[in-house]
Amino acid sequence: MNKIPGNSTATNDAPQDQIEEKSAFEVLVCTNTALRLAARRLGNLYDDALAPVGLKATQVSLLAETNRMAAANAGKAPTLQDLAAKLAIQISALTHALKPLIRDGLVELQADEHDRRTKRAVLTPAGTKLLQEAIVHWGTANQRVEEVLGAEAAASLRAVADYVASDEFLAAYSGN
């Protein structure tokens, strides 16, 4: 019995061109799909490592970026617009992601001193403390990923991901 991809009922009397034909999805090399699958796998591994502190990897990333941006701006908390831009997400996705962190007292939204319509994300003392605890668990997961991939491959993976996330890549992709 010959097998046609995606059809387990093919018989020997099927036309040869039909047997050898493959669907576009079987031969298509898709960087997006590969990257999304890898990101989900890594995300799940980091989520498992962070479970003892009750946070997801995406939440730790959000807390860490909020903290990093404030530190880089002499302690001034980032605006939601700046934070969303840095994380390459829509404001609506950012506010959705912030809701449980605000509910749990880890982040506060404060009005900007010059424009009350502009909101700034500020880590609370509890948020800073939990971020410090989470970084320990994150570090363990990160070290394990480095061990499995190897330091050189892990560095290459980060470099390629950073480039794809950059404005330079977007401009090159867009032909600008």
Q: Give pLDDT tens digits for 109-147.
A: 999 888 888 999 999 999 999 999 999 999 999 999 999
Could you tell me the sign of the dihedral formed by the alpha carbons of 16, 18, 22, 24, in that order? positive
Residue stretches of the chain with pLDDT short of 70: 1-27
Confidence (pTM): 0.78
Domains (range + CATH), the chain? 57-174 (1.10.10.10)
Q: What are phi and psi of 98, to 5 degrees?
A: -75, -25
Asked if 78 and 64 count as a contact pair (C-beta separation under 8 A), the reply is no
> Which position has the token pair 């001193």?
113
Q: Return the pLDDT at 176.
A: 80
pLDDT recorded at residue 103: 98
